[in-house]
Structure 1
Amino acid sequence: MKSVIFGTTTLAVAAGLGIYVWQAQNATAHPCGDTAVAGGAIGGPFELISETGETVTDADVITKPTLIYFGYTFCPDVCPLDTMRNAQAAYMLEDQGLDIGTVFISVDPPRDTVEVVRDFTDNFHEDMIGLTGTPEQIKAASQAYKTYYRAQEGDPEFYLVDHSTQTYLMFPETGFATFFRRDNSPEQVAETTACFIDQLA
Protein backbone atom coordinates (compact mmCIF):
# COMPACT_ATOMS: atom_id res chain seq x y z
CA MET A 1 0.00 0.00 0.00
CA LYS A 2 1.30 3.42 -0.87
CA SER A 3 2.14 5.74 1.98
CA VAL A 4 0.37 9.08 1.94
CA ILE A 5 2.05 12.21 3.26
CA PHE A 6 -0.05 15.25 4.02
CA GLY A 7 0.97 18.82 4.76
CA THR A 8 1.61 19.76 8.35
CA THR A 9 -0.95 22.55 8.33
CA THR A 10 -4.47 21.29 8.95
CA LEU A 11 -7.39 23.65 9.24
CA ALA A 12 -10.09 22.76 11.71
CA VAL A 13 -13.35 22.15 9.88
CA ALA A 14 -16.40 21.09 11.86
CA ALA A 15 -17.56 17.74 10.57
CA GLY A 16 -21.17 18.81 10.41
CA LEU A 17 -20.64 22.28 8.93
CA GLY A 18 -22.53 22.68 5.69
CA ILE A 19 -22.93 18.94 5.34
CA TYR A 20 -26.06 17.63 3.70
CA VAL A 21 -27.04 14.95 6.19
CA TRP A 22 -28.59 11.70 4.98
CA GLN A 23 -30.61 9.63 7.42
CA ALA A 24 -30.93 5.87 7.08
CA GLN A 25 -34.58 4.94 6.56
CA ASN A 26 -34.29 1.17 6.45
CA ALA A 27 -31.28 0.02 8.42
CA THR A 28 -32.32 -3.62 8.69
CA ALA A 29 -33.81 -4.16 5.23
CA HIS A 30 -30.72 -5.91 3.90
CA PRO A 31 -28.45 -8.42 5.66
CA CYS A 32 -25.40 -6.38 4.66
CA GLY A 33 -26.59 -3.14 6.28
CA ASP A 34 -28.14 0.23 5.39
CA THR A 35 -29.56 0.41 1.89
CA ALA A 36 -31.82 3.46 1.95
CA VAL A 37 -31.23 7.18 2.44
CA ALA A 38 -33.54 10.14 2.64
CA GLY A 39 -34.00 12.05 -0.57
CA GLY A 40 -34.84 9.43 -3.15
CA ALA A 41 -32.88 7.33 -5.60
CA ILE A 42 -29.09 7.66 -5.62
CA GLY A 43 -27.04 7.66 -8.81
CA GLY A 44 -27.72 8.30 -12.45
CA PRO A 45 -26.11 9.34 -15.72
CA PHE A 46 -23.22 11.78 -15.69
CA GLU A 47 -20.56 13.00 -18.09
CA LEU A 48 -17.25 14.18 -16.62
CA ILE A 49 -13.57 14.56 -17.50
CA SER A 50 -11.27 11.79 -16.33
CA GLU A 51 -7.76 12.23 -14.97
CA THR A 52 -6.50 11.24 -18.43
CA GLY A 53 -8.34 14.15 -20.05
CA GLU A 54 -11.01 11.98 -21.67
CA THR A 55 -14.73 12.59 -21.44
CA VAL A 56 -16.31 9.66 -19.64
CA THR A 57 -19.78 8.64 -18.49
CA ASP A 58 -20.97 6.78 -15.43
CA ALA A 59 -21.05 3.59 -17.52
CA ASP A 60 -17.35 4.04 -18.33
CA VAL A 61 -16.23 4.25 -14.71
CA ILE A 62 -18.72 2.02 -12.88
CA THR A 63 -17.74 -1.24 -14.54
CA LYS A 64 -17.54 -3.24 -11.28
CA PRO A 65 -18.52 -2.66 -7.65
CA THR A 66 -17.31 0.90 -7.09
CA LEU A 67 -16.87 3.27 -4.16
CA ILE A 68 -17.74 6.83 -5.20
CA TYR A 69 -16.82 9.92 -3.20
CA PHE A 70 -17.41 13.63 -3.89
CA GLY A 71 -14.75 15.97 -2.53
CA TYR A 72 -11.95 18.34 -3.54
CA THR A 73 -8.19 18.19 -3.50
CA PHE A 74 -7.60 21.42 -1.51
CA CYS A 75 -9.69 19.98 1.35
CA PRO A 76 -7.50 20.21 4.48
CA ASP A 77 -8.53 17.03 6.27
CA VAL A 78 -11.89 15.40 5.54
CA CYS A 79 -11.32 14.49 1.90
CA PRO A 80 -7.81 13.06 2.26
CA LEU A 81 -8.89 10.96 5.24
CA ASP A 82 -12.04 9.67 3.55
CA THR A 83 -10.22 8.97 0.30
CA MET A 84 -7.44 7.15 2.14
CA ARG A 85 -10.08 5.10 4.00
CA ASN A 86 -11.67 4.09 0.69
CA ALA A 87 -8.30 3.17 -0.78
CA GLN A 88 -7.43 1.09 2.27
CA ALA A 89 -10.73 -0.76 1.98
CA ALA A 90 -10.00 -1.43 -1.70
CA TYR A 91 -6.59 -2.89 -0.82
CA MET A 92 -8.18 -5.10 1.84
CA LEU A 93 -10.70 -6.41 -0.66
CA GLU A 94 -7.98 -7.00 -3.23
CA ASP A 95 -6.20 -9.15 -0.63
CA GLN A 96 -9.41 -11.21 -0.48
CA GLY A 97 -9.46 -11.60 -4.25
CA LEU A 98 -12.27 -9.08 -4.76
CA ASP A 99 -11.92 -6.42 -7.45
CA ILE A 100 -13.57 -3.09 -6.74
CA GLY A 101 -13.21 0.38 -8.19
CA THR A 102 -12.65 3.67 -6.37
CA VAL A 103 -13.73 7.01 -7.82
CA PHE A 104 -13.07 10.56 -6.60
CA ILE A 105 -15.32 13.25 -8.12
CA SER A 106 -14.21 16.85 -7.58
CA VAL A 107 -16.71 19.48 -6.46
CA ASP A 108 -14.15 22.23 -7.04
CA PRO A 109 -13.71 22.44 -10.82
CA PRO A 110 -11.96 25.85 -10.88
CA ARG A 111 -8.93 24.47 -9.01
CA ASP A 112 -9.19 20.73 -9.65
CA THR A 113 -7.80 20.42 -13.14
CA VAL A 114 -7.15 17.05 -14.78
CA GLU A 115 -3.53 17.11 -13.62
CA VAL A 116 -4.38 18.10 -10.03
CA VAL A 117 -7.02 15.38 -9.68
CA ARG A 118 -4.66 12.79 -11.16
CA ASP A 119 -1.87 13.65 -8.74
CA PHE A 120 -4.31 13.54 -5.82
CA THR A 121 -5.79 10.13 -6.58
CA ASP A 122 -2.42 8.59 -7.45
CA ASN A 123 -1.34 9.25 -3.86
CA PHE A 124 -3.97 6.86 -2.53
CA HIS A 125 -4.45 4.00 -4.98
CA GLU A 126 -2.89 3.38 -8.37
CA ASP A 127 -6.26 2.43 -9.87
CA MET A 128 -8.37 5.18 -8.29
CA ILE A 129 -10.17 7.21 -10.95
CA GLY A 130 -10.22 10.98 -10.51
CA LEU A 131 -12.96 12.96 -12.23
CA THR A 132 -13.48 16.67 -12.75
CA GLY A 133 -15.38 18.72 -15.31
CA THR A 134 -17.13 21.97 -16.00
CA PRO A 135 -19.25 23.51 -13.24
CA GLU A 136 -22.33 22.36 -15.14
CA GLN A 137 -21.06 18.78 -15.39
CA ILE A 138 -20.15 18.66 -11.70
CA LYS A 139 -23.54 20.06 -10.73
CA ALA A 140 -25.35 17.42 -12.79
CA ALA A 141 -23.33 14.59 -11.24
CA SER A 142 -23.87 15.98 -7.74
CA GLN A 143 -27.60 16.22 -8.30
CA ALA A 144 -27.72 12.64 -9.56
CA TYR A 145 -26.10 11.47 -6.33
CA LYS A 146 -28.04 13.86 -4.09
CA THR A 147 -24.85 15.43 -2.73
CA TYR A 148 -24.30 18.94 -1.45
CA TYR A 149 -21.42 21.37 -1.99
CA ARG A 150 -20.92 25.10 -1.71
CA ALA A 151 -17.74 27.14 -1.97
CA GLN A 152 -17.20 29.50 0.96
CA GLU A 153 -16.84 33.15 0.20
CA GLY A 154 -13.52 34.82 0.86
CA ASP A 155 -10.06 34.29 -0.54
CA PRO A 156 -10.42 33.49 -4.27
CA GLU A 157 -7.43 31.14 -4.15
CA PHE A 158 -7.53 29.48 -0.73
CA TYR A 159 -11.28 29.13 -0.17
CA LEU A 160 -12.81 26.01 1.39
CA VAL A 161 -15.80 24.08 0.08
CA ASP A 162 -18.57 22.77 2.31
CA HIS A 163 -19.73 19.40 1.02
CA SER A 164 -21.40 16.14 1.94
CA THR A 165 -19.10 13.28 2.84
CA GLN A 166 -20.90 10.03 2.08
CA THR A 167 -19.18 7.31 0.09
CA TYR A 168 -21.54 5.36 -2.16
CA LEU A 169 -21.20 1.73 -3.16
CA MET A 170 -22.47 1.38 -6.72
CA PHE A 171 -22.87 -1.66 -8.97
CA PRO A 172 -22.88 -1.45 -12.79
CA GLU A 173 -26.10 -3.40 -13.23
CA THR A 174 -28.11 -2.65 -10.09
CA GLY A 175 -26.84 0.81 -9.18
CA PHE A 176 -26.85 2.04 -5.59
CA ALA A 177 -26.25 -0.61 -2.92
CA THR A 178 -25.39 1.31 0.27
CA PHE A 179 -23.48 4.27 1.65
CA PHE A 180 -20.74 4.79 4.22
CA ARG A 181 -20.45 7.58 6.76
CA ARG A 182 -17.29 9.30 7.89
CA ASP A 183 -17.06 7.19 11.03
CA ASN A 184 -16.98 3.89 9.13
CA SER A 185 -13.53 2.33 9.31
CA PRO A 186 -11.68 0.75 6.36
CA GLU A 187 -12.47 -2.65 7.85
CA GLN A 188 -16.18 -1.85 8.03
CA VAL A 189 -16.24 -0.57 4.46
CA ALA A 190 -14.41 -3.66 3.23
CA GLU A 191 -16.61 -6.07 5.18
CA THR A 192 -19.88 -4.48 4.07
CA THR A 193 -18.71 -4.17 0.47
CA ALA A 194 -17.70 -7.83 0.42
CA CYS A 195 -21.14 -8.75 1.75
CA PHE A 196 -22.89 -6.82 -1.02
CA ILE A 197 -20.59 -8.29 -3.64
CA ASP A 198 -21.53 -11.75 -2.41
CA GLN A 199 -25.21 -10.83 -2.52
CA LEU A 200 -25.37 -8.80 -5.73
CA ALA A 201 -22.38 -9.46 -7.95
Structure 2
Amino acid sequence: MMRSILVGILVLMAAGIGWLTFDFYRGHYSGEPYGAPFALVDQKGAPITEAAFRGRPSVVFFGFTHCPEVCPTTLFELSGWLKTLGDGGKNLNAYFVTVDPERDTPEIIKAYVGNFSDRIVGISGDPDKVHAMAKSFGIYWKKVDTGDGDYTMDHTASVLLLNGKGEFSGTIAYGESADAAVAKLKRLANEG
Protein backbone atom coordinates (compact mmCIF):
# COMPACT_ATOMS: atom_id res chain seq x y z
CA MET A 1 0.00 0.00 0.00
CA MET A 2 2.74 2.45 1.01
CA ARG A 3 4.69 1.62 -2.16
CA SER A 4 1.60 2.35 -4.29
CA ILE A 5 1.16 5.72 -2.60
CA LEU A 6 4.85 6.54 -3.09
CA VAL A 7 4.70 5.55 -6.77
CA GLY A 8 1.56 7.67 -7.20
CA ILE A 9 3.26 10.67 -5.65
CA LEU A 10 6.32 10.19 -7.87
CA VAL A 11 4.16 9.99 -11.00
CA LEU A 12 2.32 13.19 -10.04
CA MET A 13 5.64 14.92 -9.34
CA ALA A 14 7.00 13.74 -12.70
CA ALA A 15 3.90 15.06 -14.48
CA GLY A 16 4.23 18.42 -12.73
CA ILE A 17 7.92 18.65 -13.51
CA GLY A 18 7.14 17.70 -17.10
CA TRP A 19 4.66 20.57 -17.40
CA LEU A 20 7.08 23.05 -15.84
CA THR A 21 9.83 21.80 -18.15
CA PHE A 22 7.63 22.20 -21.24
CA ASP A 23 6.77 25.73 -20.14
CA PHE A 24 10.51 26.46 -19.78
CA TYR A 25 11.20 25.19 -23.30
CA ARG A 26 8.28 27.07 -24.81
CA GLY A 27 9.55 30.26 -23.20
CA HIS A 28 13.13 29.79 -24.36
CA TYR A 29 12.65 28.56 -27.93
CA SER A 30 14.43 30.93 -30.27
CA GLY A 31 15.04 29.01 -33.49
CA GLU A 32 18.68 28.55 -32.43
CA PRO A 33 20.33 25.24 -31.53
CA TYR A 34 19.08 24.27 -28.09
CA GLY A 35 21.36 23.98 -25.07
CA ALA A 36 24.96 25.05 -24.66
CA PRO A 37 27.99 23.37 -26.24
CA PHE A 38 29.17 20.32 -24.28
CA ALA A 39 32.01 17.79 -24.31
CA LEU A 40 31.05 14.46 -22.74
CA VAL A 41 31.50 10.76 -23.55
CA ASP A 42 29.16 8.21 -25.05
CA GLN A 43 28.53 4.72 -23.74
CA LYS A 44 31.67 3.46 -25.48
CA GLY A 45 33.83 6.14 -23.87
CA ALA A 46 34.16 8.08 -27.15
CA PRO A 47 33.92 11.88 -27.10
CA ILE A 48 30.49 13.30 -27.89
CA THR A 49 29.51 16.96 -28.30
CA GLU A 50 26.48 19.00 -29.30
CA ALA A 51 27.39 18.17 -32.91
CA ALA A 52 25.69 14.79 -32.33
CA PHE A 53 22.39 16.70 -32.12
CA ARG A 54 22.87 18.24 -35.59
CA GLY A 55 22.26 16.78 -39.04
CA ARG A 56 19.47 14.43 -37.96
CA PRO A 57 16.53 14.87 -35.59
CA SER A 58 17.24 13.73 -32.04
CA VAL A 59 15.21 12.32 -29.19
CA VAL A 60 16.90 13.09 -25.85
CA PHE A 61 15.95 11.76 -22.42
CA PHE A 62 17.70 12.63 -19.16
CA GLY A 63 17.58 10.03 -16.38
CA PHE A 64 19.68 7.60 -14.36
CA THR A 65 20.28 3.86 -14.25
CA HIS A 66 19.16 3.38 -10.64
CA CYS A 67 15.76 4.90 -11.43
CA PRO A 68 13.00 2.63 -10.13
CA GLU A 69 10.21 3.45 -12.58
CA VAL A 70 10.26 6.55 -14.80
CA CYS A 71 13.52 5.84 -16.64
CA PRO A 72 13.02 2.15 -17.43
CA THR A 73 9.42 2.84 -18.43
CA THR A 74 10.43 5.72 -20.71
CA LEU A 75 13.28 3.79 -22.34
CA PHE A 76 11.02 0.77 -22.86
CA GLU A 77 8.36 2.98 -24.44
CA LEU A 78 10.93 4.85 -26.57
CA SER A 79 12.25 1.55 -27.88
CA GLY A 80 8.70 0.52 -28.80
CA TRP A 81 7.95 3.85 -30.48
CA LEU A 82 11.10 3.55 -32.60
CA LYS A 83 10.13 0.00 -33.59
CA THR A 84 6.62 1.19 -34.50
CA LEU A 85 8.11 3.87 -36.79
CA GLY A 86 10.24 1.26 -38.57
CA ASP A 87 12.00 2.71 -41.60
CA GLY A 88 10.01 5.92 -41.18
CA GLY A 89 12.08 6.72 -38.11
CA LYS A 90 15.49 5.48 -39.22
CA ASN A 91 16.82 9.05 -39.42
CA LEU A 92 16.08 9.69 -35.73
CA ASN A 93 18.92 9.60 -33.21
CA ALA A 94 18.01 8.66 -29.64
CA TYR A 95 20.04 9.54 -26.53
CA PHE A 96 19.88 8.77 -22.81
CA VAL A 97 21.86 11.35 -20.79
CA THR A 98 22.55 10.50 -17.15
CA VAL A 99 21.81 12.98 -14.37
CA ASP A 100 23.79 10.70 -12.03
CA PRO A 101 27.28 10.59 -13.58
CA GLU A 102 28.87 9.65 -10.24
CA ARG A 103 27.35 6.16 -10.56
CA ASP A 104 26.55 6.01 -14.27
CA THR A 105 29.85 5.31 -15.97
CA PRO A 106 29.89 4.70 -19.74
CA GLU A 107 30.11 0.93 -19.11
CA ILE A 108 27.10 0.94 -16.79
CA ILE A 109 25.06 3.08 -19.18
CA LYS A 110 25.98 0.85 -22.13
CA ALA A 111 24.68 -2.23 -20.30
CA TYR A 112 21.59 -0.36 -19.11
CA VAL A 113 20.44 1.10 -22.43
CA GLY A 114 21.40 -2.16 -24.16
CA ASN A 115 18.57 -3.80 -22.22
CA PHE A 116 16.11 -1.60 -24.10
CA SER A 117 17.44 -0.86 -27.58
CA ASP A 118 20.56 -0.71 -29.70
CA ARG A 119 19.17 2.55 -31.15
CA ILE A 120 19.62 4.51 -27.92
CA VAL A 121 23.07 5.94 -27.14
CA GLY A 122 24.02 6.61 -23.52
CA ILE A 123 25.88 9.78 -22.53
CA SER A 124 27.89 10.43 -19.35
CA GLY A 125 31.07 12.19 -18.32
CA ASP A 126 32.57 14.48 -15.72
CA PRO A 127 29.80 15.33 -13.22
CA ASP A 128 30.29 19.10 -13.50
CA LYS A 129 30.12 18.93 -17.29
CA VAL A 130 27.10 16.62 -17.28
CA HIS A 131 25.23 18.90 -14.88
CA ALA A 132 26.16 22.01 -16.90
CA MET A 133 24.82 20.33 -20.03
CA ALA A 134 21.58 19.29 -18.27
CA LYS A 135 21.11 22.81 -16.91
CA SER A 136 21.59 24.33 -20.37
CA PHE A 137 18.81 22.04 -21.65
CA GLY A 138 16.47 23.17 -18.87
CA ILE A 139 16.57 19.83 -17.11
CA TYR A 140 15.69 19.65 -13.43
CA TRP A 141 17.61 17.18 -11.27
CA LYS A 142 18.23 16.84 -7.56
CA LYS A 143 19.96 14.20 -5.47
CA VAL A 144 17.61 12.93 -2.76
CA ASP A 145 18.91 11.06 0.29
CA THR A 146 16.84 7.92 0.90
CA GLY A 147 17.85 7.76 4.57
CA ASP A 148 19.55 4.38 4.27
CA GLY A 149 22.96 5.58 3.06
CA ASP A 150 21.82 5.57 -0.56
CA TYR A 151 20.19 8.20 -2.75
CA THR A 152 17.85 8.60 -5.67
CA MET A 153 17.46 11.41 -8.20
CA ASP A 154 14.43 13.58 -8.86
CA HIS A 155 14.55 14.70 -12.47
CA THR A 156 12.61 15.98 -15.45
CA ALA A 157 10.62 13.10 -16.93
CA SER A 158 9.91 14.54 -20.39
CA VAL A 159 11.59 13.40 -23.59
CA LEU A 160 13.05 16.29 -25.61
CA LEU A 161 12.62 16.46 -29.37
CA LEU A 162 15.25 18.33 -31.39
CA ASN A 163 15.07 18.90 -35.13
CA GLY A 164 18.02 18.29 -37.45
CA LYS A 165 19.40 21.76 -36.68
CA GLY A 166 19.43 20.97 -32.97
CA GLU A 167 16.51 23.32 -32.33
CA PHE A 168 13.83 22.53 -29.77
CA SER A 169 10.88 20.89 -31.51
CA GLY A 170 8.70 19.69 -28.62
CA THR A 171 8.45 17.15 -25.83
CA ILE A 172 6.83 13.83 -25.08
CA ALA A 173 5.49 13.89 -21.54
CA TYR A 174 5.85 10.96 -19.17
CA GLY A 175 2.72 8.86 -19.50
CA GLU A 176 1.68 10.39 -22.83
CA SER A 177 -0.21 7.95 -25.05
CA ALA A 178 1.76 5.81 -27.48
CA ASP A 179 -0.30 7.15 -30.39
CA ALA A 180 0.52 10.76 -29.53
CA ALA A 181 4.20 9.94 -28.97
CA VAL A 182 4.51 8.09 -32.30
CA ALA A 183 2.74 10.94 -34.12
CA LYS A 184 5.21 13.45 -32.65
CA LEU A 185 8.15 11.26 -33.63
CA LYS A 186 6.78 10.88 -37.17
CA ARG A 187 6.54 14.65 -37.50
CA LEU A 188 10.07 15.01 -36.13
CA ALA A 189 11.41 12.40 -38.55
CA ASN A 190 9.69 14.13 -41.46
CA GLU A 191 11.21 17.50 -40.49
CA GLY A 192 14.61 15.92 -41.20
Shift in CA distance, 164/144, structure 1 to aligned 2, threshold 3 Å = same
SS in structure 2 of the partner of residue 85 of structure 1: helix
Q: TM-score, structure 1 length as denominator? A: 0.79
Q: How does 1:6-155 map to 2 (within 5 A)?
A: 12=7, 14-17=10-13, 20-23=17-20, 37-41=25-29, 42-96=34-88, 98-153=90-145, 154-155=147-148
Aligned residues: 181
Range that drifts further, 133-142 or 73-82: 133-142
For structure 1, the residue ranges without an aligned partner over 5 or more in a row are 1-8, 26-35
Deviation at 1:62, TM superposition (A): 4.6
Shift in CA distance, 87/139, structure 1 to aligned 2, threshold 3 Å = same
SS in structure 1 of the partner of residue 175 of structure 2: coil
Q: TM-score, structure 2 length as denominator? A: 0.82
Q: Which runs of 4+ in 1 moved over 4 A?
A: none
Aligned-partner Cα distance in 1 for 2:87–2:46: 30
Aligned-partner Cα distance in 1 for 2:90–2:175: 23
State the partner residue of 1:190.
Answer: 182
> Contact 2:62–2:157 at 8 Å: present in 1 too?
yes
State the partner residue of 1:30.
Answer: none
State the partner residue of 2:170.
Answer: 178
Aligned-partner Cα distance in 2 for 1:170–1:92: 19
For structure 2, the residue ranges without an aligned partner over 5 or more in a row are none
CA RMSD of aligned residues (A): 2.5
Shift in CA distance, 152/101, structure 1 to aligned 2, threshold 3 Å = same
Deviation at 1:128, TM superposition (A): 0.9
Shift in CA distance, 61/115, structure 1 to aligned 2, threshold 3 Å = farther
With a CA cutoff of 8 Å and minimum separation of 6, indicate the structure with the bigger relative contact order: 2
**Which of residues 158, 165, 169 in structure 1 aligns to 2:161?**
169
SS in structure 2 of the partner of residue 137 of structure 1: helix
> Contact 1:70–1:106 at 8 Å: present in 2 too?
yes
Q: Which structure has greater helix proportion?
A: 2
Shift in CA distance, 50/174, structure 1 to aligned 2, threshold 3 Å = closer
State the partner residue of 1:5.
Answer: none
